[in-house]
Structure 1
Amino acid sequence: MSRMVIEAGRHTIALDLHPKLTVITGLGDLERESLAGELLGALGPSRPGVHVELTTDDGRHLAVFRPTNGRARLVDVDQSRDITPRDVDGGVDLYSHHGIDMTGARRALKVTRADLTTQAQGDVVVHRLAEVDQTALWAAAARVRVTDEALQAESVAAGTAPEDAEIIDRIERRHAQLETALEALNRTNRLARVVTAAGVVGCVLAALVQPVLALPLLAITGLALGAAFVYRARAARAERAEREALDAAGAESYLGFHVARIDGLVSGDQARRRLLAAAADHRLAAARWFEVAGDVSVDWAMEHHTEIAVAARLRADVRNLGVMSSSAPGDEDEMAADLAHALLGRMARARSLGDLGETFPLVIDEPFVDLDPGLKPSLLELMSRSAGNPQVVLLTADEEVASWARLEALTGELSVLEPTPDSQPVAASGVA
């Protein structure tokens, strides 16, 4: 938006907006709320008396006129042509052209401190991944993808599913554990039989000579029998584990068809070995990913790659700009960093809103209230540097922010609008 005119009773208020950042100061809470509603409503189903000029992403210079008495019109200024849609019934709604309703527009394009705080808390996973070494993170993700593709390829070549490799590997591991347990049980049983036989003979002889001497022999015999029971229990557990793995791949789970597939795969030793090797590589890659990223799926991270990468770069920018204090990080430092991430996230969202990906102005209402004064300049600089795509209108009653804006306005990077003593409050639009 380049200009908005509001007719409020006998008064007319004209706002010339900077293409990048406009700071409007000196308004109370109710006035800011009302003006935010007018700014947002100007592109939607606003009331009569609210007119706006704007330039679209494709360079068209448009104007919306809403006379107090008469039909609203949409005009192409450069061509001096009325382009009001024929199906418009008493109003011009630019949001609806992009598949956005007024509720969605308010939610996306109006930002308060509460909104930033809520978003900062909701972006925990993105922020956590942004804090990770990005080279290690995406290398681990790429490794998971590569090993998964290799596993898929080997599975296709073997005529089976990737999950079957895990099942077969689990069966073989369970079977190897059972064989080890049975071997240990057999050794223990043999030893127990020898010790028991020797203990019985020794106890008989000791009883004939000195009965008390039989007690140590009985204890040794008991230990041997106890060890045999322990190893028998281990073998039983290993047998149950193998049975469970077989059930997962047997008739109870795969109803014969999968058993045939697995039997056919086992019969081809070379294919089996390649498939199991690919599965082992994939497990190692997945374990590395978990070590780096924690309990987050690779697919989710890849879907949010841009968001995570932007957050990581933003984190570096935040540090470089001095948003975090030079002392040990504290609650205020983390709060400032989270607000910066959330603010830039909302600005990124406004860059491509709706079905056609149009850029819409972002209205920000007092985002840094109650924040440490020492942290505000860096956050304001970050916002100023990123403004322009989208255009930002900042509403504030904070004199510290106003002072910063007046100084920055001298460079031409933003403009400051302040009410004059004879200005009238902005009338409520009913759309805030």
Structure 2
Amino acid sequence: MAIQNKSESEIQQLAEKVSVIQHHRRHGTPVQDVAQQVVAKQSKAREGMNPDSGAANQNPQVEPVPGSQPPAPGLRQKIRRIPGLGYALAWCNALLRLPRTRFQTEVALTQLHGRIDGLQQQYADLQQQLHVQSKRIAELEASKLAMRMDQYDALDIGSRLMQLDRLQIGRQLRSVNLMMRTSLQNERNQAGSMVNTIIEQTDVAVRALLPMPVVQSPVATSDFDQDQFYLEFEALFRGSREDIKDRLKVYLPYLSAISAEPKDQRKMVIDVGCGRGEWLELLDEQGIPAMGVDMNQSMVNACLDRGFLVRHADAIAYLREQEAGSIGAVTGFQIIEHLPFEQLIALFDAARHALCPGGVIIFETPNPENLKVGACNFYFDPTHLHPIVPQVAEFMARQRGFAHAEILRLHPYPDDHLLHGGTAVEAVINKELFGAQDYAVIGRK
């Protein structure tokens, strides 16, 4: 590309330089003299003279510059001018320089191999770093997966069933559960009949072996089923399911924080002593996940038959088994009056353990401020222990660590029970006899 951009005069100058250098190589003329001759020719060309005219045409030798004495050729140059011998000497010189050349080549190769080894070491180090980083990433992913599996394993069976229910599998599992319970009950009945038969046969064999008849004292037996008794008792005295659901709707605003969350992030509500499951049914209609816990097997079976999530267990122990801060609310309706004082305190503590920050407790109980309730109606239920004064229940909630505890008085007698004379005495009678029949202690963690 550079030659194409040269002018014609510059090309001619380059050609002259090449010819002079070739002549120098053939005749051993010093390069300095050659340069001076080239400069002289260029100056003549600029003055309009022909650089190849005159003596230059008669003598192919380049004219020396005036005032300069060309040096005599050296011995090496003279020897190299001898035909045949010069080439032989050049080959000998090359052979003599061969070990040095080989040494320099080996040094260069050694340096090259060193650089290659260094690059290979760097590559190995990079591979090692990449392997370490990959191993760390794999360990991190494995730890995250293990943590998720641990969290899943930490969930109780009720929470797992609730999650499966969200995937539209829970109801199928409950149907399978009902079938398994039915099959298990049939197997128990068959096993019981077989045991009774074996006992009777053994008794007959023993009597046949004894020389004298053995007089056995009669054993008092009872077929009383307390669980079934309480189920029938509530069906007669508690009221219809629709009436109970209407009464319980007053508590839904206290669970607004749960219902406001996305469906897949709503925390569970645990209903202690769920009974026939009216509250569970109401929460299911509102889209709030809930699970009942009851020690009455008949109540548990009734709830399972309706498709609710219920566990037959002790409520206090069940709440203690939950992961701390995993439950949205703990409720219990007409339950705390059944508990001794120590168990009541334990219930407050277990609920506080299971509740998340902001979680709520709702415990409803008969109101002894109403004289008719405190003196008579409270003892309708033979399993009641003693009434709890509202101020005492509020104190218990605050003392066990619940903030914003309050008392909500509910269910006064209808107007047709009140005295309408307008006197002060009648007002006192209406308050003391026909006031709120129940109250709820409500607290937040």
Which TM-score band applies after superposition, normalised by the shorter structure?
A: under 0.3
- Higher relative contact order (Cα pairs below 8 Å, separated by 6+ residues): 1
Report the TM-score, using the length of structure 1 for normalisation.
Answer: 0.19
Report the TM-score, using the length of structure 2 for normalisation.
Answer: 0.18
